[in-house]
Amino acid sequence: MSISLRSLILLPIWISMAHIQQGGPDEKEKTTALKDLLSRIDLDELMKKDEPPLDFPDTLEGFEYAFNEKGQLRHIKTGEPFVFNYREDLHRWNQKRYEALGEIITKYVYELLEKDCNLKKISIPVDASESEPKSFIFMSEDALTNPQKLMVLIHGSGVVRAGQWARRLIINEDLDSGTQIPFIKRAMDEGYGVIVLNPNENYIEVEKPKIHVQSSSDSSDEPAEKRERKDKVSKETKKRRDFYEKYRNPQREKEMMQLYIRENGSPEEHAVYVWDHFIAQSAAENVFFVAHSYGGLAFVELMIQREADVKSKVTAVALTDSVHNVWHQEAGKTIREWMRENCCNWVSSSEPLDTSVESMLPDCPRVSAG
């Protein structure tokens, strides 16, 4: 039987409480005091002391993983799939390791979009200054000039970025399952221009600036000797506080702040921005969307804000497990009618592929994804 570190920390206190509760009134006071002590223990902070450093490799090779010829992530030495519980009973550390690997995979997929799919990385906002936060999308060479057809891909919410459907599938299954690359390659083979949106890249993170509090003695008329004495006490106090903070929370991470990207601060804003500055300017007679999960909601929001324009350019929309809701989003009757004719939502179902699935909403047909 394995006992968790958390249990080992609390075991002596639980035993003490069990003995005390068998006593009289005086013992009850001790029980109350112990309960108060227990409530003051920050177990999450305490357990960080036993974590290895949150210092992870910044390359796949550093993690000792690589994608094989089937696009599966495998350990370089053992050939085994990715293991989440790399360290027993250290869930937070394992999660941080998983997130660090995920960031590397995001950059890896970006490289594949440029090298394998020949897409161009386009910075947005298009008129951004050198110093302001920026995002980007990916486009094929002919995305704006192809006179016939244009394919637009929108992923869902969460940690996924341009070119991905699901990070979990990339790590645990393969690149074909978790990325948009098969869609992009087939679209290009069939003569489509391609635009890949990046709706979750809404801000950049920077470290919060440290606030320097000016010493009250700096602006006072106190004698120099008294001022020096106060400064010495202040420095000693800061030294003790810093030492205590380092002991209390040795794994303290940097405090970050978010700087939002102009006109792209949400997936919905991003969809409208890319429509206005790219899709609406394209030469394509027929525009097609593939939108997954929250991407479907973003598309409906785009329709609400640019209804006439969308109807004039968009031929069909393939939704996959879309989370849009025409009632909550207040989509009008004309939008709902257009969606019934031009959209289809493939949803998770045990029914055979393309079997009709009942829907409570009066918008587009729902069919099984198989």
Do the beta carbons of residue 207 and residue 290 sit within 8 Å? no
How far is residue 106 CA from its own chain's centroid? 11
157 given a catalytic annotation: no
CA dihedral sign of residues 233, 235, 238, 243: negative
Strands (E), 133-255: 135-139, 149-154, 193-196, 203-207
Pairing state between β 366-368 and 343-347: parallel
3-state SS of 217-242? HHHCCCCHHHHHHHHHHHHHHHHHHH
**Which one from 135, 140, 282, 293 is the annotated catalytic residue?**
293
Polymer length of the chain: 370
Task: Tell me if 183 sits within 8 A of 152, measured CB to CB.
Answer: no
Task: Give the side-chain half-sphere CA count within 13 A for 105.
Answer: 31
| d(C-alpha 292, C-alpha 23), whole Å | 62
Bridge partners for 288 per DSSP? 151, 316
CB 164 within 8 A of CB 198: no
Rounded CA separation 322/291 (Å): 7
Separation between Cα atoms, residue 325 and residue 323, nearest integer Å: 7
> Is the Cβ–Cβ distance between 47 and 5 less than 8 Å?
yes
* Cα 178 from Cα 113, distance rounded (Å): 14
Residues annotated as catalytic (active site), given as ranges? 293
